[in-house]
Structure 1
């Protein structure tokens, strides 16, 4: 893959993920109001997806930095950290909603 094509593709993916995850995070924030979660699980339900909305795009953007890059660098690991926050946030929100029903 050519360097300019790689960076364009990665930056496009970063912006796309950021937009979708922010919308999903705001929805989870509102849905958490309907639960009786407390402590870590409440925080995870409220902020987990929003933290992933920072980490996942950061993984895309920072992994493409550098002149002539045609493959991601080691900062791509931020994607996996963001995925962990995303899964934890969605599961805690879902379980909280099921328990509140």
Structure 2
């Protein structure tokens, strides 16, 4: 079993930050979409205000779902770090930085 622990640690060190990055990317994309929708409503006018408001409301709900997912990933990250110390006796002072993952590693982890 000891031989698999380093492999799993390496895999988790890639996958957890990649998942966090993907959630952030989705949140950025939704935020950009929100800005475009609201700008279009303001600049074009004459639309269907009730329908447009419903669309904006659903975008906000989608953003909040991603914020909740991001918080969940942060908790998972902390729990996994704690489990690594307890299970493998690893001395983890801090998790690997997302910036430490270069682009090919991000694509491979995704």
Q: TM-score, normalised by structure 1?
A: 0.50
Q: Which residue of 2 aligns with 1:76?
A: none
Q: Secondary structure at the match of 2:64?
A: helix
Deviation at 1:9, TM superposition (A): 1.0
Q: Distance in 2 between matches of 1:9 and 1:49?
A: 24
Bigger drift between 25-34 and 50-59 goes to 50-59
Larger Rg: 2
Q: Secondary structure at the match of 1:52?
A: helix
Q: Which residue of 2 aligns with 1:36?
A: 47
Q: Distance in 2 between matches of 1:20 and 1:42?
A: 19
Q: 1:14 to 1:29 in 2, by over 3 A?
A: same
Q: Distance in 1 between matches of 2:55 and 2:46?
A: 10
Deviation at 1:53, TM superposition (A): 2.3
Unmatched segments (≥5 aa) in structure 2: 1-7, 82-110
**Runs of 4+ with deviation above 3 angstroms:** none
Superposition map of 1:1-101 within 5 A: 2-33=11-42, 34-39=45-50, 41-63=51-73, 65-66=75-76, 67-68=79-80
Aligned residues: 68
